[in-house]
Chains A and B, each alone.
Chain A
Amino acid sequence: MTANSEIAVEKFLEHTDAEAASFFEACVHCGECAEACQFYLSTGDPKYTPTYKLRPMERAYKRDKAPFSGLKKALGLAPSPVTEEELREWEPLVYDSCNMCARCTLVCPMGIDIAGTIRKMREGYAAAGFVPEGLQRSAEFVKKTGSPMGVTAKALKAQIKHQEDAVGIKIEIDKKGADYMAIFSSMEIMGYPEVLGAYAKLFKRAGLTWTISSVAYEATNVGVQIGSAPMAKEILQRVVDAAEALEVKHVISPECGHAYGAIRWAGPNMMGRQFKFEVVHIIELLDQLRREGKIPVGKKDTRRMTLHDPCQIIRRGGLLKEPRSLLNDSCANFTEMKGAGITNFCCGGGGGVSANPRAEELKTAAFSRKVEQLNGVQDLEAVVVPCGNCRAVFEDGLDEYDLDLEIIGLSELVAETLAEEDETGA
Chain B
Amino acid sequence: MSFLEFVEGPLFLVASAIFLLGVVWRVGGIILIGRKKDISPPKGSAAMGFLKGNLRHFIPRGIFAKRTALHLIAGYGFHLALLVLVLFAAPHIAFIQDRLVNVNLPEMPRWGFILTAEISFAGLIMLWVRRISDPVMRLISDWDDHIGSWLTFLVMLTGCLALQESHGFLRAQHMLVVDVWLIYFPFSRLMHAFTFFLSRGNSGATYGRKGINL
Contacts and interface: CB of A to CB of B under 8 A. Distances in A.
Contact of B214 (A116, A272, A342): A342
A357 interface: no
Contacts, number: 168
Contact of B30 (A29, A40, A67): A67
B16 interface: no
Interface of A: 16-19, 21-23, 25-32, 34-36, 40, 46-47, 49, 51-52, 65-68, 72, 105-113, 116, 264-269, 272-274, 278, 315-318, 320, 339, 342-343
B63 interface: yes
Nearest to B211: A318
12 contacts: A17-B35, A19-B206, A29-B141, A31-B137, A46-B140, A68-B22, A68-B187, A106-B64, A108-B57, A110-B195, A318-B213, A342-B214
A398 to B, nearest CB: 24
A112 to B, nearest CB: 5
Q: What band does the interface of chain B fall in when counting residues whose beta carbon is under 8 Å from A?
A: 35 or more
B159 interface: no
A268 B39 contact: yes
Given A19-B202, A22-B199, A320-B212, 5 more contacts: A18-B198, A34-B136, A47-B139, A113-B203, A318-B210
B192 A110 contact: yes
Given A21-B30, A29-B137, A318-B43, A113 B64 contact: no
Contacts of A316: 210, 212
B71 to A, nearest CB: 6
Shortest 10 CB-CB contacts between residues of A and residues of B:
A67-B29, A111-B200, A26-B199, A22-B198, A17-B35, A318-B212, A31-B136, A26-B195, A25-B195, A18-B33
A49 B33 contact: no
Given A23-B199, A36-B64, A113-B202, A46 B139 contact: yes
Interface in B114-151: 131, 134-142, 145
B19 to A, nearest CB: 14
A288 B73 CA distance: 44
A106 B214 CA distance: 8
Contact of A111 (B35, B39, B134, B203): B203
Contacts of B145: 28-29
B55 to A, nearest CB: 10
B99 interface: no
B34 A46 contact: no
A109 to B, nearest CB: 6
B92 interface: no
Contacts of A28: 145, 189, 192
A219 B210 CA distance: 20
B191 A18 contact: no
